[in-house]
Amino acid sequence: MEDNQYRNDPRVQLEIALGEQLNALISAAHALNVKAAARFDSSLQPASFHLIRWLYSYGPTSAAALAESTAMDRSSVSRLVKQLEALGYVRKDASPDDGRAILLSLTEYGQQQTIQALKEKESVFVDRISSLSDAELQEFIQMLRHINGFSS
């Protein structure tokens, strides 16, 4: 197919429009994450908040698993965790399954700060979806699940 025919194809135009909207969604979500990170602790890098969010959502884990799950370098995770621990947001405990293994988790203070930081982010998000009916929201969720490869 020639370049002009390709660009004028209605399906291609729809796919381009979808890509643009997904990119806008990802960019908006990133901007909200950066704001939430600053709300959490403006002295920290947003990458630190990425680790905090993961621990908040999924609970205690090893530094290696945290690095793998967040697609971050182990040395970066180690450096950031040391900083988070020094600030009282993260603690290290021996694993109940293997006393030699160390698990990272949020302190009570870390959890409370996370909740406060996420409230602002969530209010912006809720405002953006508030005009959708329950049926529209369910359809949107199903479409995203399909695009993300989670549909059955």
The domains found in the chain, sorted by start residue, are 3-147 (1.10.10.10)
Q: Is the pLDDT of residue 40 over 80?
A: yes
60 and 93 Cβ atoms separated by less than 8 Å: yes
**Mean pLDDT, residues 32-40:** 93
Residue 152 — pLDDT band, cuts 50, 70, 90?
low
**Mean pLDDT, residues 52-67:** 96
Q: Is the pLDDT of residue 66 over 90?
A: yes
- Global confidence as pTM: 0.76
Compute the mean pLDDT over every residue in the chain, rounded to the nearest whole number: 92
Percent of the chain predicted with pLDDT > 70: 97
Residues 6+ apart with CB under 8 A from 152: none
pLDDT for 2 equals: 66
Q: Is the pLDDT of residue 1 over 60?
A: no
pLDDT for 50 equals: 95
52 and 40 Cβ atoms separated by less than 8 Å: yes
Each residue's pLDDT tens digit, 99-138: 789 999 999 999 999 999 999 888 888 998 999 999 999 9
